Structure formats: structure tokens, C-alpha cells
Amino acid sequence: MKRMFPMILLFALLLCVPVRADELTLDAPSALLMEKQTGTVLFAKDEHTPREPASVTKVMTLLLTMEAIDSGALSYDDTVTGSAHAASMGGSQIWLKEGEQMRVEDLIKAVCVVSGNDAAVALGEHLAGSEEAFVARMNERAKELGMNDTHFVNCTGLPAEGHVTSAYDIALMSRELIWRHPDIRRFTTIWMDSLRDGVSMLVNTNKLVRFYPGATGLKTGSTDSAKYCISATAEKDGMELIAVILGGSTSDKRFSDAKALLNYGFAAYSLVTVTPESPLPAVPVTLGTQKTVQSVLTSENALLLEKSRANGLTQAVSLPESIDAPVEEGEPLGTLDIFDANGTPVASLPLLAGESIPHLTWSELFCRLLKLAYCGA
């Protein structure tokens, strides 16, 4: 037994060693891992090959729906009436009947939890008048997001010729959804729920919601031709990751691949929010209506760093001795330079002008010169 203890301890220590990106072995032919806030790609495998996404398509359906809600064009309490077309959808569904009325909130829940194809079409028709018009909006939004590998044919992900996207593009639209519309978590983190006053039970198709610590969503998908797909999101220590898997050979391997990507990301990286160690100095302004302009740190002050470089960070402020008026608010003034514990540069964050300082007019300049002449100050 005494001989076994060192071996057990060694095995435990090996389990604590983070896997490297080049050591990841995944079943799926296409995969990608992205950090939400910075949009940094942490791992990629055949990420631009167009493939069928199955119901992961509904990430875009949800994105357009949440954009409409957040813009005020749609409300959670709005009533949607099921059409014959929506009720005819096969695959995963909530058995929506033609003429049945449901709240937008319940339809979103149905899409997020059980991937209801009928619910997705009902939302699309309500927003755009028809599924075809809604799909046109989906493709337009995809172009705006830089989803160059994508062409949608429907809003469900049911098999259709030419309906393709890529692991990279799925990460782009997933990031837009969870970053800009965090309220979607109310639905994507549900494990079990119900509709129609408890008559229709819902169980999430995404097993990670129950079994992966910190899981926040997002969307599964599977068809015979697409095989098993997922856009999986999870958060730990203030960092949220997006793991995309396309073409998994089995459902379990899809989830295993997603967990492997998430585990790698959380083990290897940290998200550090930079704040100045001391108040930032003001910069003297030459011939301005004010003598100084306050420097401020850019709002993009999050750094994604390898964990080995995330501790012991130091800072150095670099600003000019003075700046000529006029100064525009948001104008670059200098940098806040970040170094790791070894003194190696990590990042250089812009320092901006916190306000606009106009140039002195001739009359203001004349008055200032008179004041200097008679008052000496």
C-alpha cells in the first residue's frame, strides 16, 4: 500500500497539468473554441469548412428575436398565433396547432430547451411575415457579422440543400447572442420546465446544462446528414467560453468534445480586467480653453492571457508632455503598457482624452495675454 501511494499522488498531479492545444484530440471534423469578451479564438480545427448545422441554426433565430425584444419591436408578452406552416414542421417540436396562441416568452423557451421547430417558425413568421422573409433577415445579419461561410435556407436547421455554416461562423453568432443579449440565459440554462400550464413537459437537449459546472447554454442540433452538433457556452471566474462542435459521430462524443474544449480553455487562460494602479495624470493643453485634459483608459480593458502570464502584472503610463488644442473627446493621448512578471510586454492599452478642449479664440487669447501682462499669472 505504501508503494501505491506515490503512484496515486503522481497520477493526481498529472491530472492537474493543463492539456495543450496541440494535445487535444477531438472526434468531430470541425471545432472551435472562442472567448466571449475579446472574441479570441483559442482552438480551431477545420473551422471554415461549410457543414450542415442542424438545429444550431436556431442561434440566429434566437439572435434576431432577442434583438427585436431589446429594440422594443417585440415583447415577451406578445401573443403569437401558430400558422399551418409552423404547425407542419417535423422533427423536434412542441406540437403547436394551427390557430393556437402562445406568448413570445414561451416560444423562446421552447426553442432553447427542446429545439422546437414549430416554435422557431412561429417566431420567424411573427417577426417578418413569413419564414422566407425571416430567412432573408438571417442571411443579411450573417453578412453583417462576417459569417462568410454561411447560407441559411430555413430558420430551423431541418435538412435543406445549400443550408450550411461553419464552426467559426457559429461562434460569431453565438458570441453576438450571449454578449449583447445576456437575458437569453434565462432560457438556455433551463434543465426542466413546462408549457401550457404544466401539460407539456420540457427537458433540455443540452446535457451540459445539468452536468457541466458553469454551463450557460447554448444550442444543440442533430440530423442524419449533419450528425451531432453543438454550440456550448460556459462561464468560470468571469470568463465565458464558446465551444462549437460540428459533425460529431455520436451524441455523447459531441458533448465530450465540447467539454474537452471548455476544460482546456478554462485551464489554460484567464480574463484579466485592467484598471490603473494609480489615478491617471492629466495632460497639459497648449492654447486650449482649459489648461489640461484628463486621460482615461479605453473601455476595452480586458486582456485574455495564458494563466502562466496572468499573475504579477505591472503597468507603465506613457503620455506626452503636452498636446496642442483643439482636443476631441476620445482622441488617443498615450498608452497604458502592461508587463508580465518577467518584464515582457503583454499589452498596450490606449489612453484617451476624457473631454473635448476647444482652441482659444483670438479674443480669449488676447484676454489671457492681458491677464498675464497685468497679473503675472
Supply the residues annotated as catalytic.
Answer: 55, 58, 115
Is 209 strand, coil or helix? helix
Q: Do residues 33 and 42 make contact, with C-beta atoms less than 8 angstroms apart? A: yes
DSSP 32-72: EEEETTT--EEEEESTTS-B--GGGGHHHHHHHHHHHHHHT
Cβ-contact 170, 59 below 8 angstroms: yes
Looking at residue 248, its amino acid is: G
Strands (E), 123-251: 192-195, 200-203, 215-223, 227-236, 239-248
Q: Rg of the Cα trace of the chain?
A: 27
**Pick from 88, 168, 91, 150: which is nearest to 125 by CA?**
88
Asked if 304 contacts 283 with a C-beta cutoff of 8 angstroms, the reply is no
What is the SS3 assignment for 286? strand
User: Could you tell me where the beta strands, DSSP code E, fall in 277-369?
Assistant: 282-286, 292-297, 302-306, 314-318, 323-324, 332-339, 345-353
Q: Which of 220, 349, 216 is nearest to 274 (CA)?
A: 349
User: 345: cis peptide before it, omega within 30°?
Assistant: no
